[in-house]
Amino acid sequence: MARPEKFRIIKSPPAFYRFKPAGPMMRQLEHIYLSLGEYEAIRLADYEGLEHNDAAKLMEISRPTFTRLIEKARKKVASFIIDGRALVIEGGNIHFNENLIKCMDCGFVFPFTIENEVNKCEKCGSANISDLALKFGHGRCCRNRRRGGKNT
């Protein structure tokens, strides 16, 4: 029996996930897809400035896996900047540790526990909110993982 593929653990969903150069429309451009795992690798190593070893631990993967992940991610981001492509963050074998909520009325973005469901904006009270974990097809699976405490 094949060993189930290990999930990469991500702190929270990205607040922004579609990018393009100024000028052409999204649909006119060749798309680059950055996986959620690749996004997290960039966030941890290049944004937070963590050592690969520490970043790998947070994502619950090995250091060589992390190094491969960040190398792929950097190539994609470089191509986005230099080749003038569209960049979309999506996909990947992942679970979130926390959620991120975006208010569709006032634009406020705030972190929220993955364990609970949120029904209104913390700033303006609007119920017109976007659950970003859910947007990436996650939520229930992430809660189950945290309850079970197993990385499968």
Residues 6+ apart with CB under 8 A from 15: 100, 102, 109, 132
Quote the least distance from Cβ 129 to Zn ion, whole Å: 7
Cβ distance 39 to 90 under 8 Å? Answer: no
Q: Does 29 bind Zn ion (CB under 5 A)?
A: no
Q: Does 108 bind Zn ion (CB under 5 A)?
A: yes
* Out of 59, 103, 114, 132, the residue judged to bind Zn ion by CB under 5 A: 103
Distances from the Cα of 130 to the Cα of 41, 89, 90, angstroms:
24, 17, 16
CA distance 96 to 142: 6
Q: Does 121 bind Zn ion (CB under 5 A)?
A: yes
Closer by beta carbon to Zn ion, 26 or else 104: 104
Quote the least distance from Cβ 26 to Zn ion, whole Å: 26
Q: Tell me which residues in 42-101 interact with Zn ion (CB under 5 A).
A: 95
Find the farthest-apart pair of alpha carbons in the chain and give their distance in angstroms, rounded: 51
Q: Does 114 bind Zn ion (CB under 5 A)?
A: no
* Out of 32, 50, 88, 141, the residue judged to bind Zn ion by CB under 5 A: 141
Cβ distance 60 to 149 under 8 Å? Answer: no
What letter would DSSP give residue 76? H
- Interface with Zn ion (CB under 5 A): 95, 103, 105-106, 108, 121, 123-124, 126, 138, 141-142
